[in-house]
Amino acid sequence: MRTLAIGDIHGCLEPLKNLWKTIDPKPEDRIIFMGDYVDRGPECKGVIDYLIELQQQDLNITFLSGNHEEKFFLSEMDLTDRDHWLRVWGGPETLDSYGPGGFDDIPASHWEFLRKCRPYLETDSHIFVHANLEHDVPIDQQLPFTIIHKKFGEPKAHMSGKVMVCGHTAQKSHVPANLGHAICIDTDVGRGGYLTCLHVETGEYWQTNFDGDLRQDKI
């Protein structure tokens, strides 16, 4: 069994498809998507469609929720949030991918999928979370802001002794950041970088980008 963590996708469907073919998950594998499925990239609707298709297969997949999913929800409900989302967060790419009707063209199945995404996943050895953890707070008592908004920085080891795996903070080097007790796998595919999948047990990782390049290395 492999534990495979996949970083922030940001509407980048082709890198996701190429990465999925490369890792070729099996039913005995555990796959964790780290959140931030929408914004910036050109095929946000296509990404959600693809993830829903994967969800229907005989695979062990967990979908985490990120700050861009939160902003997407808020923008549907509040015009102030919508203006900020469209100006700053990459919202136009998301709306454009759904068609000329904007929010009216977003299917209910997409909202349902995003609502069911989890805040974190804890295993015997790791904690998977979109953004970060407070080192001295139990996982079930973490503030939502920390889980989906706090930047990576130089986090201290969590009190549980488990390794944190996260996304959210784009690594401009386009390689994962590894502190031993904390690993960030957002390698900025939405702004010209790579999409990363980390094999948690071995530290091996695979990366794809819009040019069709495939990279493989070890943290």
Quote the distance between the C-alpha of residue 186 and its chain's center. 8
Task: Read off the pLDDT of residues 47-89 as tens digits, 9 standing for 90 and up.
Answer: 999 999 999 999 999 999 999 999 999 999 999 999 999 999 9
Domain ranges of the chain: 3-218
Question: pTM (2 decimals)?
Answer: 0.97
Measured CA distances, 111 to 48, 52, 96, 206 (Å): 10, 11, 17, 30
The pLDDT assigned to 96 comes to: 96
Active site residue 181: no
6-18 mean pLDDT: 98
Rounded CA gap, 144 and 127, in Å? Answer: 15
Domain over 3-218 is classified CATH 3.60.21.10: yes
Residue 96 burial class via C-beta count within 10 angstroms: exposed 0-12, middle 13-18, buried 19 and up:
middle
Which listed residue (10, 68, 126, 158) is catalytic? 68
Task: Read off the pLDDT of residues 130-171 as tens digits, 9 standing for 90 and up.
Answer: 999 999 999 999 999 999 999 999 999 999 999 999 999 999
Structure tokens at 204: 């091996």
Structure tokens at 175: 């390689």
